[in-house]
Amino acid sequence: MKLDNENAFGMIGLGTMGSNLLQNIADKGYHCAGYDNSTDKVESLNNLKRDTIQGFSDLKAFARSLKSPRIVMMLVPAGKIVDDVIDELLQVLDLGDIIIDGGNSHFTDTERRNLALKDKGYHFIGMGVSGGEEGARKGPSMMPGGDKKAYEIVAPILSKVAAHVNGDATVSYMGERSAGHFVKMVHNGIEYALMQLISETYEILKNGLKYSDVEIHDVFKKWNEGRLQSYLLDITRDIFAYKLEGKTDALVNDISDQAKAKGTGKWTSQAAMDLNCPIPTIDISVSMRDLSHYKELRVKASKMYPNNNLQYDAKAEDYIDVLEQAFYFSMVSAYAQGMHLLFKANEEFKYDLNLDLIAKIWRGGCIIRSAFLEDIFTAYQKEAKLEHLFLDDSIHNNLTKNIAGIRTIVSDAVLQGIAIPAFSTSLSYFDNFRCASMPTNLIQAQRDYFGAHTYELIGKQGVFHTIWEIENKVE
């Protein structure tokens, strides 16, 4: 039995993520303690029979087993339960101890907790963790923010347990207060967009081009070996090869089309709207998950409005190349919108974010890791204050080469009645982004007409209002 004050790291919440991350930390040579109010989970941890891991059902005993300053990480569901756990911890911790929230907490909650715990004399880190079950066990990407001095204490442990790319650990200090959870929230928003784009690609392949599961698998396999290489394409390829014993079709065909969500995509959209920062590909991806829930309505509508237009005759290999161009274009747009949101948040919240550092730690361990993140990292290394990825010379050149592809795919899908909202929105976002004169001058005139909201004139200082009513107008 280990003596009190021997464990270097404590974990509260011994679910899949907490247990796996604790084992990862122990693998790196640290003695760890785990606590859960579920005796079954504590027993499962102790049944691993590892000398460097000790499970507790008693919170006081758990706290006594930790070295000072105590490092306690929570991996519990976001919301009130986090506050409840913190309140319990404050009964057994000492001033100067470190509390880490490693869950998907809303950044505004993290902002509040950071200030409250600082006032009480405790160190607090809000840390996004990405990589799922496998990442927790083998090396996640981690986005800590908040108390920088506390991060410096835990950094040696986190650096060892993180994934590594080109010798660099996929963890780094993100910035002040709630920066870590804001970055993780945007990560998840980008994740929503990429998953929606992949699902729309699947729709074109299956219902447009009538590809079999094997052919769809082969397309994703080929793409994953090129510039689109990513974790999400990697697992998508595997999904189309997975069959239950005795079945001829891939399991994915038997899965309900009502997609679940935990809210982080919605939070991203809400934060972007508050910051007046457009991220339409992420927004529409959130909306499409919501629409998927209305199964009964969709079934009724499908009978009233059947699609009899499907006449794709472009099964040739060159059309798949065009589809690859469209996916690349839209993928770039999704990342660019997310990074632009981070840029705007940095201005508003004074986080002191380094966008190149964020791209760097996303290259490994996390769900949105991809080959393209190297291009993003390079862009921000070249120009740290780059406001938007579309303005980078290298990305501009690559994006331009794929415009014809995205236009072909979107126009063909519209003619065939296939819904590809993320592809379409990515293109419309680009076309408006590159528009020096949008038609929104008319909106300003309308607002002034019905509400006297005023407007500004081109090349003339001041704010103006017009009495737009015309006598004897022709209706």
Domain boundary among 136, 156, 177: 177
Q: What is the pLDDT of residue 205?
A: 94
Residue 2 Rama label (left phi>0; alpha psi -120 to 50; beta): beta
Pairing type for strands 460-464 and 98-101 reads: unpaired
In a domain, 356, yes or no: yes
User: Are residue 147 and residue 269 in the same domain, yes or no?
Assistant: no
In a domain, 1, yes or no: no
User: Are residue 150 and residue 232 in the same domain, yes or no?
Assistant: no
Q: What is the pLDDT of residue 471?
A: 65
Residue 238 host element (H or E): helix 231-239
Q: What is the pLDDT of residue 1?
A: 42
User: Are residue 124 and residue 197 in the same domain, yes or no?
Assistant: no
User: Are residue 322 and residue 470 in the same domain, yes or no?
Assistant: no
**Dihedral sign, CA of 91, 93, 96, 102?**
negative
177 close to 122: Cβ distance less than 8 angstroms: no
User: Are residue 172 and residue 189 in the same domain, yes or no?
Assistant: no
Residue 438 has pLDDT above 70, yes or no: yes
CA-wise closest residue to 59 among 9, 26, 12: 12
**Active-site entry in 41, 184, 344, 360:** 184
Residue 475 has pLDDT above 90, yes or no: no
User: Are residue 282 and residue 246 in the same domain, yes or no?
Assistant: yes
- What tens digit of pLDDT does each residue of 317-346 get? 789 999 999 999 999 999 999 999 999 999
Q: What is the pLDDT of residue 315?
A: 62
Interval 143-159 mean pLDDT? 97
401 is catalytic: no
138 is catalytic: no
User: Are residue 129 and residue 271 in the same domain, yes or no?
Assistant: no
Domain boundary among 401, 416, 433: 433
Interval 438-460 mean pLDDT? 96
Residue 436 has pLDDT above 90, yes or no: yes
Confidence of residue 314 (pLDDT cuts 50, 70, 90): low
User: Are residue 409 and residue 361 in the same domain, yes or no?
Assistant: yes
Label residue 301 exposed, middle or buried (CB < 10 Å: 0-12, 13-18, 19+): exposed
Domain boundary among 177, 193, 216: 177
Task: Give the chain's mean pLDDT.
Answer: 95
User: Are residue 156 and residue 188 in the same domain, yes or no?
Assistant: no
In a domain, 74, yes or no: yes
**Active-site entry in 41, 111, 176, 191:** 191
Interval 82-109 mean pLDDT? 97
Q: What is the pLDDT of residue 260?
A: 87
- What tens digit of pLDDT does each residue of 12-43 get? 999 999 999 999 999 999 999 999 999 999 99
In a domain, 31, yes or no: yes
Residue 3 has pLDDT above 60, yes or no: no
What CATH number has the domain bearing residue 51? 3.40.50.720
Residue 177 has pLDDT above 50, yes or no: yes
User: Are residue 172 and residue 253 in the same domain, yes or no?
Assistant: no
In a domain, 4, yes or no: no
284 CB-near residues (< 8 Å, 6+ apart): 196, 421, 422, 425
What CATH number has the domain bearing residue 455? 1.20.5.320
Percent of the chain surpassing pLDDT 90 = 93
In a domain, 2, yes or no: no
User: Are residue 198 and residue 99 in the same domain, yes or no?
Assistant: no
Residue 4 has pLDDT above 70, yes or no: no
Q: What is the pLDDT of residue 327?
A: 98
What CATH number has the domain bearing residue 290? 1.10.1040.10
Interval 429-450 mean pLDDT? 96
Residue 472 has pLDDT above 60, yes or no: no
| Domain interval for residue 450 | 439-475
Domain count, the chain: 3
User: How far is Cα 160 from Cα 44, in angstroms, rounded to an integer?
Assistant: 25
Percent of the chain surpassing pLDDT 70 = 97
- What tens digit of pLDDT does each residue of 96-132 get? 999 999 999 999 999 999 999 999 999 999 999 999 9
User: Are residue 173 and residue 25 in the same domain, yes or no?
Assistant: yes
Per-residue CA distances from 205 to 199, 218, 310, 415 (Å):
10, 11, 12, 16
